[in-house]
Amino acid sequence: MSLLAGVLSTLTGALPKAVNRAIDAVLPDKLSEPEKEAIKTAATDAAHRHELEMTKEVVLAEAQFNLRLKDMEGTAKDLSALPIIGKIVIFIRGCMRPAFCVSTIYWDWKILSHAWEPPDRELFILINFLVLGFLFGERTLINVMPYIERWTKARNGGGS
């Protein structure tokens, strides 16, 4: 699931609860409990159908975006049709991730071993997040975030 779909799910997942709170606040007391529950069930079902439709739309939009990106950038097969330049571009594209990874690891090692002092700590963290996100995806950022939060709290003396 993509980050956008996760955010959308979080936002729309609260919808049934909000609908039920609104129903509790608006429904008159003269309705019986079974009637109230029937209304809540119908509203919750409608909210879940809406959530499902939104998730389908997000998946469709991501698929269309990926196809568009492939059409615009081309594929390695398209590049291999170019005699010399195509092979060079394919090689450079293949080297980007390892080059960024090795450069960032070296930079992190120098900074975390106090051999270098970064000009801006927040910039250091931001660049690491960008590189980690680019190289390893959002799952890495999710797994690393608790450590970053602890490090930030410790650096700030336990406060947030």
Predicted structure pTM score: 0.41
Q: Which two tokens stand for residue 101?
A: 């990874």
Interatomic CA distance for residues 130 and 150, integer angstroms: 19
CB 132 within 8 A of CB 141: yes
Least Cα distance to 54 among 5, 2, 104, 20 occurs for: 5
Interatomic CA distance for residues 151 and 145, integer angstroms: 10
Reported as a single tens digit per residue, the pLDDT across 12-56 is: 566 667 766 777 777 667 777 787 788 778 877 887 788 888 889
Reported as a single tens digit per residue, the pLDDT across 95-154 is: 888 888 888 889 888 988 889 888 888 888 888 888 877 777 777 777 877 887 888 788
Q: What is the Cα Rg of the chain in Å?
A: 25
Reported as a single tens digit per residue, the pLDDT across 59-103 is: 899 889 888 877 776 677 777 778 888 888 888 888 888 888 888
